[in-house]
């Protein structure tokens, strides 16, 4: 570091900078300053929360933090009023250039020239106006390693701590990670783990400690988390408060990154789960001098991750199609109970829209800005359902993730969890679910600690749960706990007046999604749709419309079996371009080609749909030159 300062002094002399200089040689104002800040707006936005966080840690100690661009122009400054007033008298404000050519040796100029973190103190500065200060700065690089700016923390010499530079480096590290996050948002959903590691929060608890665990400093947020005073907190070491502290030290000593690990933290009266990151400070002899620990509330970290990953309800009551009295009554009831904390049990046949109603209830509630987590109880293997719902601790079973993993109830904390096909949940899991409903706490697999959760539960089933109780497959007490607010969704055959609206809606929606024109549906065929019993309910109706739009034909409505196919109306479709001069053979050839395409050239299915034999179809394909 001393060699870097000596080189800087030599360059400053070559630039003609003397100790009598007071102001920077170049200071932008007006439009030029605005253009400079706009040019670097991504850097300014990314750095702002971490500058405030850095300043909060030293607030009241007469410090100020400075952000510059790659040329040394000040973009932003924050600090205590008195020292900012003094800096302003020296015109150290946005627009002033702090590079060596304009103001001589200072931490910002040196770090931009040398590319390494540096601390410049007292008479190491070129100009005498800065002799009273110690400046600690580090360059900020983009994801390609190019220098895009610098971050500096300046204070009076007597107030600067040995770890000040380490704090700046840690803040720069976080800024760089945030810049990377901004550049890679398009792939965040594909890499959730990467997303979670790059989440930072202004409201972070920060603790600095020596390598032996002795606590040096602690900020206000940390004291709030641990519910104690600074004097009482410092009586114990970091090892007392932070689980796996020795693992953190080992990682820092060996150069292994320790970022956003979920650990248990010992508070005043309970155990908390926090996201912990560690930033090592290496001494001049290249040994670990101290560590800065950044602790964030797991709930806040997950909240941002959930927003990025789309854990949100999609549908609202306005999007539910229907004018029948029964549907209107159900919607009204759903709106009335949306804000309640009581559990909702949605029942009805498959395809009646139970999940859509669950979305709508959540979105109409005062939890609409919180997480909406969907769990299909029938799709999770029995061996995994416990850890999936309630989470697990590290080492609780073979293959368990380091640091453990939160369950869906923890992730849904504050919001809603939708348990679809609840009738498929194993009995032992029903017991644990009952406890969550009654006590509002979850316990991870392999842990004795309880984690309080505030979760609104909506369950759904197409089974008769009371019958399942009589069969011994479902707990009676859980049945009554779930059925506090029962909503039964009627089958489509019981609300036939809604079918024309649904047909119109799906005709418009599906045609857009598959890039085809809407179909004109004859009144006679619409009457057939209304008269049909729809064993698959709304889902079956949607599938019929999609089939029609793809094939431009109208299926004959017969109850389906697993081996049957919908038989299409044999009336050929006229050309879409309005050309009515085609021969009958040309129309037949076009119709056979469309049917083959719709059925992925499956000869058997296509022949059945056309109402002809396989050999007849082969003959016509040969006749019309249609390749198999």
How does residue 559 score in pLDDT terms, banded at 50, 70 and 90?
low
Cβ atoms of 131 and 123 within 8 Å: the answer is yes
Determine the Cα–Cα distance for residues 97 and 104; give it in Å rounded to an integer: 10
Lowest-confidence pick of 292-301, 313-322, 378-387, 486-495: 292-301
Summarised one tens digit per residue, pLDDT across range 493-511 is: 999 999 999 999 999 989 9
The pLDDT score that the predictor gives to residue 12 is: 94
- Write the burial class of residue 40 (CB in 10 Å: 0-12 exposed, 13-18 middle, 19+ buried): buried
Q: Name all contacts of 544-551 with Cβ < 8 Å and 24+ positions apart.
A: 545/503, 545/506, 545/507, 545/510, 546/506, 546/510, 546/514, 547/598, 548/519, 549/507, 549/510, 549/511, 549/514, 549/516, 549/518, 549/519, 550/514, 550/516, 550/598, 551/594, 551/595, 551/598
Segment 273-284 shows an average pLDDT of: 83
Residues 6+ apart with CB under 8 A from 412: 370, 371, 372, 373, 453, 455
* Average pLDDT for 342-356: 92
DSSP 397-461: STTPPTT-B--HHHHTTTSEEEEETGGGS-HHHHHHHHHHHHH-EEE-BT---EEE---EEEEEE
Higher pLDDT, 513 or 397: 513
Separation of alpha carbons 249 and 256, rounded Å: 10
Q: How do beta strands 118-121 and 133-141 pair?
A: antiparallel
Listed in order, the ranges of the chain carrying CATH 3.40.50.300 are 317-490
Rounded to two decimals, what is the model's pTM? 0.47
Q: DSSP string covering 451-501, please?
A: EE---EEEEEESS-HHHHHHTTSS-HHHHHHHTTEEEEPPPGGG-GGGHHH
Burial class (CB in 10 A: 0-12, 13-18, 19+), 316: middle
For the cut 60, the answer to whether the pLDDT of residue 386 exceeds it is: yes
Torsion over CA: 356, 358, 361, 367 (sign): negative
423-442: average pLDDT = 88
Which two structure tokens, joined as six digits, stand for 61?
A: 């100690």
pLDDT in tens, 68-88: 999 999 999 998 888 888 888
- How much of the chain, in percent, has pLDDT values that exceed 90? 32
- Dihedrals φ, ψ of 508, to 5°? -70, -45
pLDDT at 456: 93
Cβ proximity of 317 and 360 under 8 Å:
yes
Sequence-distant (6+) residues with CB within 8 A of 442 are 390, 391, 407, 409, 410, 436, 450, 451, 453
Residue keyed to tokens 């300043």: 55
pLDDT of 96 reads 94
For residue 348, name the pLDDT band (cuts at 50, 70, 90): very high
Least-confidence region, from 231-245, 366-380, 422-436, 581-595: 581-595
**How far is the C-alpha of 54 from the C-alpha of 52, rounded, in Å?**
5
**pLDDT tens digit sequence for 181-220:** 776 654 544 443 442 333 233 467 888 888 888 998 888 8
Within the chain, all domains assigned CATH 3.30.450.40 are found at 2-183
Classify domain 2-183 by CATH number.
Answer: 3.30.450.40
Are the C-beta atoms of 77 and 52 separated by less than 8 Å?
Answer: no
Backbone angles phi, psi at 113, to 5 degrees: -80, -40
pLDDT at position 578, please?
42
CATH 3.40.50.10190 for domain 317-490: no
Res. 570 pLDDT band, cuts 50 70 90: very low
Question: How confident is the model at residue 311, as a pLDDT?
Answer: 59
The yes-or-no verdict on residue 147 having pLDDT over 80 is yes
> Where in the chain do CATH 3.30.450.20 domains reside?
195-298
pLDDT at 310: 41
Residues 262 and 298: beta-carbon distance below 8 Å: yes
Spell out the alpha helix ranges (H) of 15-114: 30-39, 41-58, 81-89, 100-103, 107-114
Q: What angle is formed at CA 478 by the lines to CA 472 and CA 483, rounded to 5 degrees?
A: 115
Percentage of the chain with pLDDT > 70?
86
b/e map of 156-168 (b: 16 or more CB within 10 Å)? eeeebbebbbbbb
For the chain, give the mean pLDDT: 83
pLDDT mean over 95-107: 95
pLDDT at position 69, please?
95
> Distance (Å, rounded) from C-alpha 448 to C-alpha 471?
33
End-to-end Cα spacing for the chain:
76
Banded pLDDT at 270 (limits 50, 70, 90): low
pLDDT at residue 314 is higher than 60 = yes
- pLDDT value of position 189: 46
pLDDT score recorded for residue 185: 56
User: How many other C-beta atoms lie within 10 A of the C-beta of residue 285?
Assistant: 6
Does residue 402 register a pLDDT over 70? no
Phi, psi dihedral angles at 190 (to 5 degrees): -80, -10
Give the DSSP per-residue string, 237-263: -HHHHBTTHHHHHHHHHHT--EEEEEE
pLDDT classification of 602: cutoffs 50, 70, 90: confident
Instruction: Determine whether 537 is exposed, middle or buried from the number of CB atoms within 10 Å of its CB (0-12, 13-18, 19+).
Output: buried
Query: How do beta strands 450-452 and 456-461 pair?
Result: unpaired
Residue 565 predicted with pLDDT over 90 = no
| Measured distance CA(113)–CA(479) in Å, rounded | 70
CA distances from 527 to 202, 352, 530, 532 (A): 61, 21, 5, 9
Window from 85-99, 236-250, 251-265, 390-404 with minimum mean pLDDT: 390-404
Of the ranges 147-151, 185-189, 288-292, 448-452, which is most confident? 147-151
Per-residue confidence (pLDDT) for residue 102, from 0 to 100:
95
- Domain 195-298 of CATH type 3.30.450.20: yes
Please tell me the predicted confidence (pLDDT) of residue 191. Answer: 47
What is residue 201's three-state secondary structure? coil
SS3 567: strand
Instruction: Please say if the pLDDT value at position 304 is more than 70.
Output: no
């Amino acid at each position: 570091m001393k060699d870097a300062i000596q080189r800087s002094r030599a360059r400053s002399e070559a630039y003609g900078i003397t100790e009598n200089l007071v102001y920077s040689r170049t200071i932008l104002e007006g439009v030029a300053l605005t253009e400079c800040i706009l040019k670097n707006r991504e850097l300014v936005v990314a750095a702002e929360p971490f500058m405030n966080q850095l300043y909060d840690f030293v607030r009241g100690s007469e410090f100020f933090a400075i952000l510059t661009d790659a040329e040394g122009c000040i973009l932003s400054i924050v600090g205590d009023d008195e020292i900012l007033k003094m800096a302003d008298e020296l015109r150290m404000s946005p627009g002033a250039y702090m590079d060596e050519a304009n103001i001589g040796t200072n931490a910002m100029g040196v770090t931009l020239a040398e590319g390494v973190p540096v601390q410049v103190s007292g008479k190491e500065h070129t100009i005498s106006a800065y002799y009273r200060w110690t400046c600690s700065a580090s360059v900020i690089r983009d994801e390609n390693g190019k220098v895009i700016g610098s971050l500096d923390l300046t204070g009076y010499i007597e107030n600067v701590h040995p770890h000040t530079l380490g704090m700046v480096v840690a803040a720069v590290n976080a800024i760089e990670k945030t810049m990377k996050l901004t550049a890679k948002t398009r792939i965040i959903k594909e890499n959730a783990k990467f997303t979670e590691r790059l989440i930072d929060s202004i409201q972070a608890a920060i603790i600095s400690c020596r390598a032996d665990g002795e606590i040096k400093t602690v900020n206000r947020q940390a004291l709030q988390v641990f519910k104690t005073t600074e004097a009482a907190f410092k009586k114990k070491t970091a090892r007392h408060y932070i689980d796996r502290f020795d693992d953190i030290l080992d990682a820092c000593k060996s150069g292994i990154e320790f970022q956003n690990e979920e650990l248990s933290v010992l508070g005043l009266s309970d155990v908390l789960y926090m996201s912990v990151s560690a930033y090592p400070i290496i001494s001049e002899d290249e040994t670990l001098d101290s560590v800065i620990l950044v602790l964030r509330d797991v709930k806040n970290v997950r909240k941002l991750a959930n927003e990025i990953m789309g854990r949100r309800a999609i549908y609202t009551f306005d999007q539910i199609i229907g004018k029948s009295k029964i549907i209107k009554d159900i919607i009204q009831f759903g709106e009335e109970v949306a804000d309640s904390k009581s559990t909702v049990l949605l029942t009805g046949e498959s395809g009646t829209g139970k999940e859509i109603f669950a979305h709508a209830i959540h979105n109409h509630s005062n939890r609409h800005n919180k997480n909406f987590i969907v769990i299909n109880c029938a799709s999770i293997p029995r061996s995994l359902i416990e850890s999936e719902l309630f989470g697990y601790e590290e080492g609780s079973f073979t293959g368990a993730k380091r640091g453990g993993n939160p369950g869906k109830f923890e992730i849904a904390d504050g919001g809603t969890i939708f348990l679809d096909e609840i009738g498929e949940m194993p009995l032992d899991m029903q017991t644990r679910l009952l406890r969550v409903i009654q006590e509002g706490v979850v316990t991870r697999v392999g842990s004795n600690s309880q984690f309080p959760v505030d979760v609104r539960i909506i369950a759904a089933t197409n089974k008769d749960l009371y019958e399942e109780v009589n069969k011994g497959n479902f707990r009676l007490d859980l049945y009554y706990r779930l059925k506090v607010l029962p909503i039964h969704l009627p089958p489509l055959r019981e609300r036939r007046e809604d079918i024309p609206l649904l047909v119109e809606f799906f005709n418009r929606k599906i045609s857009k999604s598959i890039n085809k024109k809407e179909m004109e549906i004859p009144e006679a065929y619409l009457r057939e749709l209304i008269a049909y019993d729809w064993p698959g309910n709304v889902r079956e109706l949607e599938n019929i419309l999609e089939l029609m739009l793809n094939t431009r034909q109208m299926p004959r409505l017969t109850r389906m079996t697993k081996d049957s196919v919908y038989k299409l109306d044999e009336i050929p479709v006229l050309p879409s371009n309005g050309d009515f001069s085609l021969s009958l053979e040309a129309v037949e050839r076009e119709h056979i080609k469309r049917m083959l395409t719709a059925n992925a050239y499956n000869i058997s299915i296509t022949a059945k749909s056309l109402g002809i034999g396989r050999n007849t179809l082969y003959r016509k394909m040969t006749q019309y030159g249609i390749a198999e």
